[in-house]
């Protein structure tokens, strides 16, 4: 809507243009100092013509040009305002979408790492492109062991009943994990042993766990805690995307952690490779950082993920509290 001062200004310009080009009702006479004098023979007709022109006068070319120029100025300002408002809306929608992607990725990581075996999380060094991997052992169940030989190697142990016996897939028995490297080495003595089978029935409230071979657990837990873990899982920032990998230890646990650049180390297709988030631009950033923890406190995994789409970008920094007491 045009402002009042613009309307007044336009009206003044039109009136000035009309006064400049309006026909004169009289004719100039030479030699009288420029005075205007009506012709003797055409005086009546001139007056009538002037009267008719004043009554029937329309829009002149100057008026039309001035109006078009002013309307163009108003239209240009209106278009610029509409474009600016539309671009602001698009930018806001893009930021909201990036925030939603980051929030979902953070929640999935937090839920997954909340079920990690204590002190089983390890990360690779961040590359210049921002590619990095985090790996951990998911907990299938936890119980208390009753009879474990910590002096000599044995191929079985007893524990209180647990629910992991109904689950399929490879499982590991873990007692007193302290350092991630000892878990993935899967050596004896050590905190991890591969489980072959569980007892079909519980006798007297005791369940027997059969190991794949003779194994010597390094040391016992003060709380007699026994973790039954599933195969390791990895989260990797790779090529601007966050993937979740599983079922890649068919040939055994890997003492050297897989990275996005390791050939044939991680699955390359679904369902063992799942996309969690995209639009990640982490160049020069460290996506995962595991803070050192004491045995009787919680550990911390710090996330640093940068999401970008065009000119819009957001950075999510989040801390996940994890149990580290073995």
Whether residues 222 and 168 fall in one domain: yes
Domain count of the chain? 2
pLDDT tens profile 237-249: 998 999 999 988 8
Whether residues 225 and 244 fall in one domain: no
What stretches of 178-295 adopt beta strand conformation (E)? 192-198, 207-215, 225-229, 233-238, 241-245, 273-277, 288-291
Whether residues 224 and 254 fall in one domain: no
* End residue of a domain, out of 230, 247, 281: 230
Q: How many CB atoms lie within 10 A of CB 252?
A: 8
Domain annotation covers residue 65: no
* End residue of a domain, out of 174, 199, 230: 230
Domain hosting 220: range is 139-230
Whether residues 236 and 226 fall in one domain: no
Give me the pLDDT at residue 226, please: 92
Residue 175 gets the label, from left (phi > 0), alpha (psi -120 to 50) or beta, of beta
Whether residues 131 and 146 fall in one domain: no
Whether residues 244 and 123 fall in one domain: yes
Tokens at residue 139, please? 């907990």
Q: Which of 69-83, 134-148, 305-319 has the lowest mean pLDDT?
A: 69-83
pLDDT tens profile 171-201: 899 999 988 999 999 888 999 999 887 765 5
Whether residues 126 and 158 fall in one domain: no
* End residue of a domain, out of 230, 265, 284: 230
Whether residues 117 and 197 fall in one domain: no
Tokens at residue 102, please? 């980051």
Instruction: Name the pLDDT band for 46 (thresholds 50, 70, 90).
Output: low
Tokens at residue 8, please? 């007044």
Instruction: Name the pLDDT band for 13 (thresholds 50, 70, 90).
Output: low
Tokens at residue 156, please? 């079985």
Whether residues 209 and 163 fall in one domain: yes
């Amino acid at each position: 809507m045009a402002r009042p001062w613009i309307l007044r200004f336009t009206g003044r310009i039109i009136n000035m243009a009309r006064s400049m080009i309006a026909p004169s009702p009289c004719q100039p006479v030479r030699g009288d100092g420029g005075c205007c004098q009506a012709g003797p023979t055409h005086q009546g007709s001139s007056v009538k013509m002037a009267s008719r022109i004043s009554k029937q006068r329309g829009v002149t070319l100057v008026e039309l040009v001035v109006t078009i120029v002013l309307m163009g100025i108003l239209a240009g300002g209106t278009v610029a305002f509409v474009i600016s408002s539309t671009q602001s809306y698009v930018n806001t929608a893009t930021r909201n979408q990036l925030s939603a992607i980051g929030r979902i990725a953070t929640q999935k990581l937090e839920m997954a790492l909340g079920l990690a075996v204590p002190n089983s999380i390890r990360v690779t060094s961040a590359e210049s492109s921002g590619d990095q991997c985090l790996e951990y052992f998911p907990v299938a169940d936890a119980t208390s062991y009753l009879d474990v030989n910590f002096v000599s190697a044995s191929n079985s142990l007893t524990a209180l009943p647990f629910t992991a016996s109904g689950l399929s897939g490879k499982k590991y028995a873990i007692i007193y994990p302290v350092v991630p490297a000892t878990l993935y080495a899967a050596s004896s003595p050590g905190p991890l042993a591969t489980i072959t089978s569980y007892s079909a029935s519980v006798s007297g409230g005791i369940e027997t766990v059969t190991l794949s071979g003779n194994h010597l657990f390094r040391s016992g837990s003060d709380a007699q805690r026994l973790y039954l873990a599933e195969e390791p899982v990895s989260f990797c920032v790779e090529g601007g995307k966050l993937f979740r990998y599983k079922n890649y230890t068919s040939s055994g646990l890997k003492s050297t952690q897989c990275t996005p650049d390791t050939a044939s180390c991680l699955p390359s297709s679904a369902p063992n490779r799942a996309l969690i988030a995209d639009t990640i631009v982490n160049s020069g950033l460290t996506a995962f950082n595991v803070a050192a923890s004491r045995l009787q406190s919680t550990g911390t995994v710090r996330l640093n993920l940068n999401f970008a789409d065009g000119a819009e970008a957001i950075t999510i920094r989040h801390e996940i509290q994890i149990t580290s007491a073995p």
